[in-house]
Amino acid sequence: MTALRFRHVPVFAAALALGLASVAVDAKPKVKVGFIGPLTGGTSSNGIGGRNSADLAVRLRNADPKAKYEYELIVLDDECKPNIGVLAATKLGANKDVIAAATHYCSAVAITTVAVYHKFGLPIIVWGAVLPDITYGNDYKEVHRVNGTMINQNETAAKFMTGLGYKTWAIIHDTTDYGKGHNKYFSKFLIENGGKILGTFGVTSDQQDFSAELTKIKSLNPEVIYFGGLTPIGVRILAQMDKLGLKALLEGTSGIVSDTFLKGSGPLAEGVLAFREGAPTEKLPGGKFFLEQYNKQGYSDPPEAYGAFAFTAMSLILDTIEAVGPDRKKVRDALNNVRGANAADSITGKVDFDDHGQNTIAVITKYVAQDGKWTVWEDSEYAKGLRKLKGR
Amino acid sequence: MDVGLFAQYVMNGLMLGMMYALVAVGFTLFFGVLNVINFSHGDVLTVGAFTGLATYLGLSAIGVSWAPAQVVIVLLVATTCMAGLGAVIARYLVLPLKAAPALNTLLLTLMLGTVLREAVRLFYPLGANPQRFPPLLPTTAYSFGNFTLRVDSVMLLLAGLAVIVGIHLVINKTKLGLAIRAVAQDEETAKTMGINFTLIVLVTFAIGSGLAAFAGILHGLYYSEINFAMGLLLGVIGFSSAIVGGLGNIYGAIIGGFLFAALQTIGVLAMPFASAYKDVFAFGVIILIMAWRPTGLISEKISERV
C-alpha cells in the first residue's frame, strides 16, 4: 500500500510543477513547509519566538530573487502536550503539499511525534527539544535535530571541568528521566576525561532534606558536587551544603540555569557553574545578522533562546528544497547527507548530522553565577582570573 | 565512622526529628479531642511559613531590620494567624461534621489541604517557585573535624525543645490541659462536668495549628527555603509518626517523629548508593512496626472500646 502511494508522488509532483509552470511563466512554483511549536501555554514564549524565527527564514527566502520556489509556512500549535502534538504532526504529515517541517520545542511532544513523521515520510528537523532519545531512540531517517542534547551538554561539562583541574566528584541526581539521563552521560564523559566519581546519590524530585546525603558526601570530600536535576531541589541542596559546611563547588545542568535558582539561593549562588544547550543569540556565529533581520521584521515577541535554532532548521530545509526540489524523499535523503564534507554552515555554527540525524557540532554554553546573574563563562570575572572558583 | 561525622548525622537527625515531632503532636492533639484526622495540617504549616515570610518582607518594607525583633514578630504573627486558622477550620469545617462518618472529615480536610496549597501557589507572588527564607539567626559556624555546628541550628533545636516542654506543661500542669485531657478521655462526662466542649476543641486546634506554623518557620530558618508543596510530605510523615507512636498520645508522637528521622538517616547510611530509597526504607519499617504494634508504640492510656 505504502509503496504504491509513494510511487505516485513524483508523478504528482511533476504534474504539479508542469501545471504551475504553464499558468504563469514568471511566477515561481509554490512549496509548503511546516512549523510546529508551543504557541499557547506555559512555554509559549519559546514557541512564538521559534515560529517568528522560522517565519523570518521563509520571508528572507521569498525576498531572494534567486530562489526557485515561493514558500508558504504552515504553522501549527502543539501546546507542549504530546496528544496535541500528535494531532498537529498527523495534520502536517497527511498534507502531501507539505515537503518538510521544523518541529517541537518540548521533549515530551517530540518523542511521541517522531513515529508519526516516520509513518508519513515527512522529513523534519527538531529545533528545540533536547531529549537524546528523540534522535537516538529510533532509526527514523526522517528525524533530524540542529540543537544539542544533554549528551553534548555533559560532554562539554566533563571536558571543561576536568580542564579546570578538578579531580573528584560526588553526583546527586533526581530519579526522573531527566536526572538519570544527566547522571548517565556525565558519569560516562567524566570517567573518559579522567575524573573520579566518589559517590552517586539518587534523590526524589520533591525531596526536602538532603542532610544525610550531604553529610555522606562531606565524608567523601569531593572537590565538586555535580547536580543533575531542576531548580527547586537545586536551591535546597545549595542551602544545605552551606549549613553543613561543605566546601565543594556546585556544578549544575541546564535545569538550574534560571533566575529562580539565583533568587532562591541569594548570595550562596555565587560561583555556581552550569551548562546549557544553545547560547545567548548574540553569541552565536551569525547571531548579529539574525537579530538584525529579526528586528527589521517588527515581530512583537523576541526570538527567545531557541529562535536561532528554528531559523537554522528552517533555512536548512529551504536550502535542501532549493537543491533537490520539493520531494519528501529527496529532501529526506539530502538532509541525511548533510555531514562530514557536506556539513552545512548556519547562523548557529556548522550543522553536521550523524547516523541518527543528530547535529554533532552542538553549541553548548558554560555559565557561572556572578553577582546574581548567569554570566557566560568567557565573559565572567572567573575566566579572567579576577575571581576564583571554590577549590581553585 | 569518625566521631565528627557521627555527631553530624545525629545533629541532622535531631533537627529533622524536631520538625516531624512538632507536626505529629498536632495530629495527635486533634485526634485526642475529636477523634478526627486533619489532613490539612501539613498545608497549614506551609501557609504558616509563607505568612512568616510575608511578615518578614512587610517588616523590611517598613524599616524594621533588627533581626531579633524580626524573628519574634515573624513567629508571633505566623503562630497567631495559624492558631486562628486552625480554630476556624475546627469551628466551621470539622465540628459541623462531628456526627457524620469519620471518612467525611478526612476527605474534607484532604480537600482543604489542596485548597490551601494551591492558594499559596496561585496567590503568593511567584508562589510556584521556591522562596528564599531570610537567615534571621546568627549563622556563625564552628567546625570540629567533620562536624559543623551552626549557632542557628542549635538555637532552632533549643527553641523546638522549649516548645515541646511547654506543650507538655500545658497539657499536664494547667486547667486547660486538664480539660483537654478530660475531653480526650470522654466527651460526654467532660461535658457533664461543666467543660465547654466546643471551646476546648477550638483551643486544641488553635494550639496544634500554631505548632504547625512554628514548625513551618523552623523549617524556613533551617533550610533557608520554603515552597508551596513543603507541607505535603511533612504532613504524611507527621501523620505516620503520630500513628506509629500511638495516635492520641503526645509522647508517642514525639517519639514517632524522632524515630522517623532516625530511620531516614539510617536509610542513607545503610544504603549509601541507593539513597533515593531512604523514604521507602523508613516507611517500610513504619509499616512493620504498625504490624507489630497496631495501636502504636505508646497507645492511649484509656482507649474507647465497645
Whichever domain contains B111, its CATH number is: 1.10.3470
Which DSSP symbol is given to A41? S
pLDDT of residue B110: 93
- Closest of A81, A87, A84 to residue A42, by C-alpha: A81
Same domain flag for A54 and A142: yes
**Is A374 within a domain?**
yes
Computed over every residue of chain B, the mean pLDDT equals 89
CB contact under 8 Å between B275 and A211, yes or no, is: no
A391 in any annotated domain: no
Measured distance CA(A356)–CA(A134) in Å, rounded = 9
Chain A residue with minimal CA distance to B17? Answer: A209
For the stretch A200-246, pLDDT in tens is: 999 987 888 898 889 889 989 999 999 998 888 999 999 999 988 89
A29 Cβ contact list (under 8 Å, min separation 6): A16, A17, A20, A21, A68, A69, A70, A326
Distance from CA of A163 to the nearest CA of B (A): 27
Contact check, Cβ <8 Å, A203/B276: yes
pTM of this structure: 0.78
Cross-strand partners of A172? A201, A227
Contact A20, A30 (CB under 8 A): yes
B262 located within any domain: yes
CA B139/CA B135 separation, integer angstroms: 7
Enumerate residues 221 to 240 of chain A having a beta carbon within 8 A of any beta carbon in chain B.
231-232, 235-236, 239-240
Q: Is residue A388 part of a domain?
A: no
Q: Are residues A273 and A237 in the same domain?
A: yes
Kindly determine whether residue B141 and residue A265, on different chains, have CB atoms separated by under 8 Å.
Answer: no
Number of H helices, E strands in chain B: 11, 4
The total domain count for chain B is 1
Q: Do A264 and B12 touch (CB under 8 A)?
A: no
* Contact criterion met (CB below 8 Å) for A274 and A244: no
Establish if B280 belongs to a structural domain: yes
Q: A73 - beta bridge partners?
A: A33
Which residue type does A174 have? D
Q: What is the DSSP letter of A380?
A: S
Do A268 and A188 share a domain, yes or no? Answer: yes
CB within 8 Å: A211 and B131: no
CA torsion through residues A369, B223, A199, A257, sign: negative
Q: Is A41 a domain residue?
A: yes
* B132 contacts A263? CB cut-off 8 A: yes
- CB < 8 Å to A231, chain B: 129-130
Residues 122-181 of A with CB under 8 A from B: 175
Grid coordinates belonging to A212: 544525610
pLDDT tens for each residue of B283-301: 999 999 989 888 888 865 5
pLDDT of B33: 86
Which residues constitute the domain of residue B250? Answer: 3-292
Distance between CA atoms of residues A27 and B32, nearest Å: 85
Interface test with B, best of A176, A233, A244 (most B CBs within 10 A): A244
| Any B CB within 8 A of A201 CB | yes
DSSP A286-355: THHHHHHHHHHHT-SS--TTTHHHHHHHHHHHHHHHHHH-S-HHHHHHHHHT-SGGGPBP-TTS-B-B-T
**Is the CB of residue A209 less than 8 Å away from at least one CB of chain B?**
yes
Q: Cell numbers at residue A83, please? A: 496528544
| Total number of domains constituting chain A | 2
The pLDDT of residue B306 is 44
Per-residue pLDDT of chain B in tens (306 residues, 90 and over written 9): 688 888 888 998 999 999 999 999 999 999 988 888 899 999 999 999 999 999 999 999 998 888 889 999 999 999 999 999 999 999 999 999 988 888 899 999 999 999 999 999 889 988 878 888 998 888 888 888 778 888 989 999 999 999 999 999 999 999 999 999 999 888 889 999 999 999 999 999 999 999 999 999 999 999 988 999 899 999 999 999 999 998 888 889 999 999 999 998 888 887 766 677 888 889 999 999 989 888 888 865 555 444
Asked whether residue A390 is domain-assigned, the answer is no
The amino acid at residue A74 is I
In a domain, A339, yes or no: yes
Residue ranges making up the domain that contains A346: 2-148+281-361
How many angstroms separate the CA of residue B274 from the nearest CA in chain A? 7
pLDDT digits (tens, 9 = 90+) for B105-122: 999 999 999 999 999 988
Complex ipTM value: 0.82
Query: Do A130 and A56 have their domain in common?
Result: yes
Contact B148 A260 (CB under 8 A): no
Residues in chain A: 392
Q: Considering CB atoms only, which of B9, B150, B224 is closest to A239?
A: B224
d(CA A338, CA B53): 55
For residue B127, being part of any structural domain is answered with yes
Residue B222 at interface with chain A, using a CB cutoff of 8 Å: yes
- Asked whether residue A384 is domain-assigned, the answer is no
| For helices B230-245 and B102-123, angle between their N-to-C axes, nearest 10 degrees | 150
